[in-house]
Amino acid sequence: METLLNKLPKPLGSSLFFAVLDIFFIFVTRIITDVSLEDRRPRLCSSSYGANLLDEYTTTSKRSYTYGHFLLCQLLNWPPGLKVSQLHDTMVKRRHFVLRVLTALVLVRDTGTCNTSIKMARDEWKVGKGQNFTLSCSVVCLQPSHRLQWLHNTTVVLETDSGDKSAPADRTVPFHVREAAMRDSGTYYCRTSPEMASSNNVFITVVDLVVTVSSVSVEVCEGGTVKLNCTATSPLDISLFWTRGGCEGNRTLGNGTLLLSPVIPHDSGDYYCCASISTRIPLRRSRKVQVKVLGE
């Protein structure tokens, strides 16, 4: 019996095991009612006995015999003080009904509380080319023999191992993409295999930001003029400015055009055209121009 149950998919094997125990209790109860010990046998459904059953039911991890015993009293609505010998007639009349109800309730008890589901919010992300991103989905009650799959459009890109019996039924499974390329754009979602549940979609769009300058190195005599142009292209709105020494925490010297006139030796140095777009993690690009002011 144990070998057969082990071969059955869970929680079906567990359900059948408890159902058999509950049914066994009913037949044992029917047998003992034929013994004429009415006056010495306790009253099965007295208030005190019922209370003891309920207390034991709640403190013994729902042991099958206690569960079935308690249900017999409750489902058949036997009056308090029913004696054991009176059980026989009632069982003859209602045996098949009790078997059906108990079996159904036990199956519901074991399987109805564990429905596989996947939680992941529907979303749309803009990801910069070359950036990393991570998606996560949370699965509840994944059966040990099932897998969880991540899909990019219609292609499976990640699959958990169904042979890992130690893996928890409730878990969060991430999917990592490093240095995103344009080919990583598309629809991502996760599902179980066999397909019992699937998540919402996350739509990823990988975008680029390209910055160009009119010259990367300029030499000019003192008193002359430096004029540099910078352009940036991207499908998103662009923030663009010039600065000296780096893009972080420096004074803005202009937007698309840098104009220095008249120049002095102090103006020699590195100037940067800085651009950024509002991706999920802001994407920033810059180009450096070296300016050298020559003395007379």
pLDDT tens string 157-208 = 999 886 566 778 888 999 999 999 999 999 999 999 988 899 999 999 999 9
DSSP annotation string for 211-227:
EEES-SEEEEETT--EE
pLDDT tens string 222-238 = 999 999 999 999 999 99
Is residue 210 predicted with pLDDT exceeding 70?
yes
Residue 58: what pLDDT?
38
Between 56 and 217, the more confident residue is 217
Q: What is the mean pLDDT of residues 90-99?
A: 53
Residue 102: what pLDDT?
53
DSSP annotation string for 153-213:
TTEEEEE--TT-TTS-SSEEEEEEE-S--GGG-EEEEEEEES-S-B---EEEEEE--EEEE
Confidence of residue 72 (pLDDT cuts 50, 70, 90): low
Note the pTM of the prediction, 2 decimals. 0.58
pLDDT above 90 as % of the chain:
47
Is residue 267 predicted with pLDDT exceeding 80?
yes
**CA–CA dist 65, 106 (Å, integer):** 12
List, in order of start, the domains of the chain with CATH numbers. 2-111 (no CATH), 117-207 (2.60.40.10), 210-294 (2.60.40.10)
- The count of other CB atoms within 10 Å of the CB of residue 31 is 10
Residue 208: what pLDDT?
97
